[in-house]
Structure 1
Amino acid sequence: MRKNMNTRINGANVILVPYQEKHVVKYHEWMKNPILQYLTGSEPLTLEEEFEMQKRWLEDEDTVAECTFIILDKCVFLSTGSETDAMIGDTNLFFNDLQETNIAEIEIMIADEAYRGKKRGWEAVILMMHYGFETLNINKFRAKIKSDNVMSINMFEKLGFREVEKSEIFQEVTLEKQASSDWMNWLHSELKSVIPNSH
Structure 2
Amino acid sequence: MRLNEKTKLIGRRIVLVPYEALHVPKYHKWMSDEELRHLTASEPLTLEEEYQMQKSWREDSDKLTFIVLDAEAYSRDQDEIAAMVGDTNLFLHLDPDTDQQVAEAEIMIAEPSARGKGFGREAMLLMLKYAQSQSQLKLDKFEVKIDMQNTTSLHLFKSFRFAETRRVEVFQEVTLERPITPEWTSWLDEQVQLRTETY
The answer to whether the 8 Å contact 2:88/2:123 transfers is yes
Q: Cα distance 1:164–1:91, how it changes in 2: closer, same or farther (>3 A)?
A: same
For the Cα contact (< 8 Å) 1:95–1:101, is it kept in 2?
Answer: no
Partner SS, residue 124 of structure 2: helix
Q: Which residue of 2 aligns with 1:195?
A: none
CA drift at 1:126: 0.5
Task: Give the match's secondary structure for 1:155.
Answer: helix
Higher mean alpha-carbon deviation, 174-183 vs 36-45, is at: 174-183
- Aligned residue identity for 1:51: Y
SS in 2 for 1:143: strand
Aligned match of 1:131: 130
CA distance in 2, matches of 1:34, 1:2: 31
Stretch moving more, 36-45 or 129-138: 129-138
Q: Report runs of 4+ in structure 1 exceeding 4 Å deviation.
A: 98-101
Paired AA for residue 132 in structure 1:
A
Q: SS at 2:171's partner residue?
A: coil
Instruction: Give the equivalent residue in structure 2 for 1:161.
Output: 162
Residues 41-120 of structure 1 aligned to structure 2 (within 5 Å): 41-60=41-60, 62=61, 65-97=62-94, 100=99, 102-120=101-119
Contact 2:100-2:141 at 8 Å conserved across structures: no
Could you list the per-position Cα deviations for residues 147-175 of structure 1 after superposition, in whole angstroms to 9, with x for gaps in the alignment? 00001100100110010000112111000
Match of 2:18, as an amino acid? P
Structure 1 stretches lacking a partner, 5+ long: 193-199
Aligned to 1:11: 11
Distance (Å, rounded) in 1 between the aligned partners of 2:111 and 2:169:
29
21-30 or 128-137, which moves further after superposition? Answer: 128-137
Match of 1:149 in 2: 150
CA drift at 1:23: 0.3
The size of the alignment, in residue pairs, is 189
Question: CA separation in 1, counterparts of 2:155 and 2:180?
Answer: 19
Identify, as 1 or 2, the structure richer in strand. 2
User: Does residue 173 of the first structure (1) align with residue 170 of the second (2)?
Assistant: no
In 1, distance between residues paired with 2:26 and 2:171?
28
SS of the aligned residue for 2:175 comes to strand
Q: Which moved more, 1:99-108 or 1:43-52?
A: 99-108
Return 9-18 or 174-183, whichever deviates more: 174-183
- Paired position in structure 2 for 1:39: 39
Aligned residue number for residue 197 of structure 1: none
Kindly provide the amino acid, as one letter, of the partner of residue 10 in structure 1: I
Deviation at 1:3, TM superposition (A): 1.4
Structure 2 distance, partners of 1:157, 1:101, is 21
Determine the structure 2 residue equivalent to 1:185. Answer: 186
The amino acid that maps onto 2:177 is: E
Using the alignment, how far apart are the partners of 1:25 and 1:69 within structure 2? 16
Determine which structure has greater relative contact order: mean sequence separation of CA pairs < 8 Å that are 6+ residues apart, divided by chain length: 2
Give the whole-Å Cα distance in 2 for the aligned partners of 1:167 and 1:132: 27
Shift of 1:118: 1.1
- SS of corresponding position for 1:95: strand
